[in-house]
Amino acid sequence: MTRCIWVLVFLLLTGTASAQVLNNPSPTNPLDYSQPKQYRIGGINVSGTNFLDPNALISVTGLKVGDEITVPGEDISRAIQKLWDQGILGDVEVYVTKIEGDQIFLNFELKERPRLSRFTFSGISKTQQDALKDKVSLQRGKVVTDAVLNSTRNVIRNYFLEKSYLNVKTTITQKPDPLLPNSVVLNVDIDKGDKVKIADIDIVGNEAFTDKKLKRQMKKTKEKRFYKIFTSSKFQKSEYEADKEKLIAFYNNHGYRDATIVSDTVYNVSDDRLAIRITIDEGKQYYYRNITWKGNYIYDDAYLSRLLGIDKGDVYNAEELDKRLHYNPTGIDVSALYQNDGYLFSSIEPVEVAIVGDSIDLEMRVFEGAQATIDKVTVSGNDKTSDYVILRELRTLPGQKYSRDDLIQSRNELAALGYFDPENIGLNPLPNPVEGTVDINYSVVEKPNDQISLSGGWGGTLGPVGTVGLTLNNFSTRKFFDWDAWRPIPSGDGQRLALNIQANGKYYQSYSLSFTEPWLGGRKPNSLTVSIFKTVYRRSMGLYGSYGSAESDNDSRLNVNGASISLGRRLNWPDNYFQMSHALSYNQYNLTNYALFSDFSDGTSNSVSFINTIARSSIDNPTFPRSGSSLTLSINLTPPYSLFTEKENNYEFVEFNKWMFDGSYFINLAGNLVLNARAHFGFLGSYGSANVGPFERFKLGGSGMGGSGGGNFFVGTEYIGLRGYDEESVVNSADPTLRSAGGVAYDKYVLEMRYLISPNPAATIYGLTFLEAGNSFSSLKNYSPFKLYRSAGVGARIFMAAFGLLGFDYGWRLDDIPGQPDMKRGQFHFMIGQQIR
């Protein structure tokens, strides 16, 4: 039989594969297209490909040698469709190369789609180009398919929609790359248009609440107004949908449980402005009528109703009801009542049993279950801190009844350690109702908390001062001789080691070393702290703190040597938030021609004091507290030498009694917005008729970082910040000698509004505004708690693990201090640590 090539061309029309006959039947053509015939495939060939594997393509068709197919028929059409579905081919044609008896030989002639060699953006800024390069899925060597191009357009559109460019247009052109065969260069041209703002929000159908009040509920969807400088008015669909839900939630929380948005429309009013119209059906307002309890045996109805705190006639509020039943961050809830007594498996389901007019009857269906016992307690995520250091801080112990309060307090204890990111401490109860037990897993994320400081500065009359400090907050003496544990230092056992050296040549040197073991003996939370320090100050100092010149460097000097030992323990009464500590401190002051006070410039003073402190702290986060309080009462006493012995001078043995109180309370107003109220008091007294000496006094004003020039800095003086005023400037006395010495009493009141900007443990940042007032008094008889100097201002804090707390404030003083007319009205203050308290 004469060899003939009959061609079957199969084209895809409107998304489907079909076969088309290109030549008419003839006597020599064995195929009759009007009469389909069955053949057996004798061979399959692929042509036209340069990069694709022919065998893989044949496999994709689903055809193989030996298969029986009908020509014309659906078999070849399906094969073409399968190849086309891969998205990597630009054209598919099928030829019949020969027919031998009942065998047919096919050739698939294919045209590959080009591959991407590179791409460029045009029409947008370099910053936007860099941002889009990380988002689009354009990779060199990737086949340029319609799906790839559409995906690129969608990514670009979504990127600019988030930035309020609602009319963005993207044009993608392909040009062959002359350097690479079957490759193209894509140019992505973007016309982002104008940024579209919200011109107007029209709310229809509202009668119970004004437009203004309802618009305030929409947190991210705001109108453009010239006076709203700091309010964004861009339109984002996802934010708009969320704000509509907030709008309905607001209605629900005020008793309008049937409130719905009937319709809403977003339409353009110009190229760069759009308007929103929302139609609301408020429905009626509902109220609580009868609330009954069912299934409760441990607590009676009256007690549960008092705890719930909802009365007949109150506006129906499903969100508030759920909060009072299951979790109330500002007080106790009914669920906590059960769970704090071990009833972990308890549940309370409110059911609406009747709706009469605008009144709703509720039935509280209580399932109390059995008390759960804690079985296993585990920790995870601590790759540095030893397990036992974490477990010993927990209030949830195996064998005890489950308590939700203990679980929350355990989290606060872990946060107070400072070793973990407080925002990522996980509490994971794993209940086992069958056994009546619960396993608890605490997950933590370690954060760096050791601190090193290398700094230099100008210390007033001291000149340049250098400081080297090292604080290891999670040290381990147990691993000290284990060389494998030095990475770079042995750590993980919760001990604290601090070393600090400060020097200014031979004029000033200060050395201090302290060590704290938080669990002395390892069985109880009894802390032991031992510290020693030495300070040498060589310089002439005139009377009352004025500086003069000395005949030689050794003529005027002050040497201070000191040591202290402290033992602290936790208390279980009145509750387990209390702690008590007792410390014994000894300081020796050696003066040579050093005018420390009006009648004391030479000699040796010895100070032996007993410091007793009781404190209660329930704050939830030491870096950025959102709730809880902190109270501290400290009493520092020396023996009353003047009552039973005669002394050579008033300062050979220092005597005083010092009383200090600090209170701080945190209220979470909304999310990251926290109100902090603080009060501070200090009183310094003597025994009998003894004079109050220059030791342990109070100096108020500025950032609270006074004493850099020497003087009372070395004799236990308390420096208290009062923003907006000069350092050490606030004292209620016109006598310059008493101003220099400091006060014997002070009080201070602070109101701060804080907002968390970044919770990142590497750099926790929050801003604040403040109002504060305080005063320092030169004698107890002049003490007046409400005679205050006031100030206001703003500030910011940055907590960095390596450096501690850094901050700055701008304070504006509201009052004048007599005798100080040149003091600036507004001042910046910089601080390191917690000097402003």
Beta strands in 384-526 (DSSP E): 426-432, 437-443, 451-458, 464-475, 495-504, 508-517
**657 HSE (CA, 13 A, CB side):** 10
The pTM for the full model equals: 0.69
pLDDT for residue 1 is more than 50: no
Q: What is the pLDDT of residue 440?
A: 97
- 114 and 144 in contact (C-beta within 8 Å)? yes
Q: What is the pLDDT of residue 17?
A: 37
Q: What is the pLDDT of residue 5?
A: 36
Q: Ranked by mean pLDDT, which of 281-285, 638-642, 727-731 comes out on top? A: 281-285
Residue 322 backbone dihedrals phi, psi, to 5 degrees = -65, -40
Average pLDDT value for residue range 399-418: 93
Q: What is the pLDDT of residue 113?
A: 80
Pairing of strands 37-47, 103-112: parallel
For 466, residues 6+ apart whose C-beta sits below 8 A from its C-beta are 455, 456, 502, 503, 504
Side chain identity, residue 3: R
Q: What is the pLDDT of residue 508?
A: 79
Average pLDDT value for residue range 124-145: 85
Q: What is the pLDDT of residue 298?
A: 94
Integer Cα distance of 520 and 666 in angstroms: 32
Burial of 389 (0-12, 13-18, 19+ CB in 10 A): buried
Lowest mean pLDDT among 327-336, 342-351, 406-415, 699-708: 699-708
Measured in whole angstroms, the distance separating CA 474 from the mean position of its chain's CA atoms is 23
Q: What is the pLDDT of residue 548?
A: 41
pLDDT in tens, 786-826: 999 999 999 999 988 666 778 889 999 999 988 788 899 99
pLDDT in tens, 347-385: 999 999 999 999 999 999 999 999 999 999 999 999 999
Average pLDDT value for residue range 645-665: 84
Q: What is the pLDDT of residue 747?
A: 96
pLDDT for residue 289 is more than 90: yes
pLDDT for residue 24 is more than 60: no
pLDDT in tens, 266-280: 999 988 899 999 999
Give the 3-state secondary structure of residue 337: helix
pLDDT for residue 500 is more than 50: yes
Q: What is the pLDDT of residue 469?
A: 84
Average pLDDT value for residue range 407-413: 92
Q: What is the pLDDT of residue 358?
A: 94
pLDDT in tens, 215-265: 999 988 999 887 777 778 888 888 999 999 999 999 999 999 999 999 999
Domains and CATH numbers, the chain: 6-112 (3.10.20.310), 115-191 (3.10.20.310), 197-281 (3.10.20.310), 287-367 (3.10.20.310), 373-443 (3.10.20.310), 518-810 (2.40.160.50)
Residue 243 backbone dihedrals phi, psi, to 5 degrees = -70, -30
Give the 3-state secondary structure of residue 17: strand
For 683, residues 6+ apart whose C-beta sits below 8 A from its C-beta are 658, 659, 660, 744, 745, 780, 783
- What is each CA distance from 34 to 10, 29, 31, 37, 683, in whole angstroms? 16, 13, 9, 9, 113
- 495 and 476 in contact (C-beta within 8 Å)? yes
Lowest mean pLDDT among 503-517, 518-532, 607-621: 503-517
Mean pLDDT value across the chain: 85
Q: What is the pLDDT of residue 29?
A: 44
Q: What is the pLDDT of residue 97?
A: 85
pLDDT for residue 425 is more than 50: yes
Give the Cβ contact number of residue 198 at 10 Å: 21
Lowest mean pLDDT among 69-78, 459-468, 685-694: 459-468
pLDDT for residue 174 is more than 80: yes
Q: What is the pLDDT of residue 141?
A: 77
pLDDT for residue 834 is more than 60: no
622-656: b or e for each residue (b if 16 or more CB lie within 10 Å)?
A: ebbbbbbbbbbebebbbeebbeeeeeeebbebbbb
pLDDT in tens, 557-597: 888 999 999 999 999 899 889 999 999 999 998 888 887 66
Q: Ranked by mean pLDDT, which of 134-138, 769-773, 822-826 comes out on top? A: 769-773
Percent of the chain residues topping a pLDDT of 90: 50
Integer Cα distance of 522 and 744 in angstroms: 41
Integer Cα distance of 706 and 719 in angstroms: 6
Integer Cα distance of 250 and 216 in angstroms: 10
Lowest mean pLDDT among 122-131, 507-516, 646-655, 824-833: 646-655
Per-residue pLDDT band at 27 (split at 50, 70, 90): very low
pLDDT for residue 646 is more than 70: no
Q: What is the pLDDT of residue 725?
A: 93
Integer Cα distance of 247 and 240 in angstroms: 10
Average pLDDT value for residue range 179-194: 87
pLDDT for residue 214 is more than 50: yes
Lowest mean pLDDT among 75-84, 109-118, 260-269, 592-601: 592-601
pLDDT for residue 541 is more than 90: no
pLDDT in tens, 693-748: 888 899 999 887 655 444 445 577 888 999 999 988 888 765 555 566 788 999 99
Q: What is the pLDDT of residue 665?
A: 96
Q: What is the pLDDT of residue 543?
A: 39
- 397 and 377 in contact (C-beta within 8 Å)? yes
- Closest by CA to 623, choosing from 756, 723, 720, 721, is 756
pLDDT for residue 200 is more than 60: yes
Per-residue pLDDT band at 162 (split at 50, 70, 90): confident
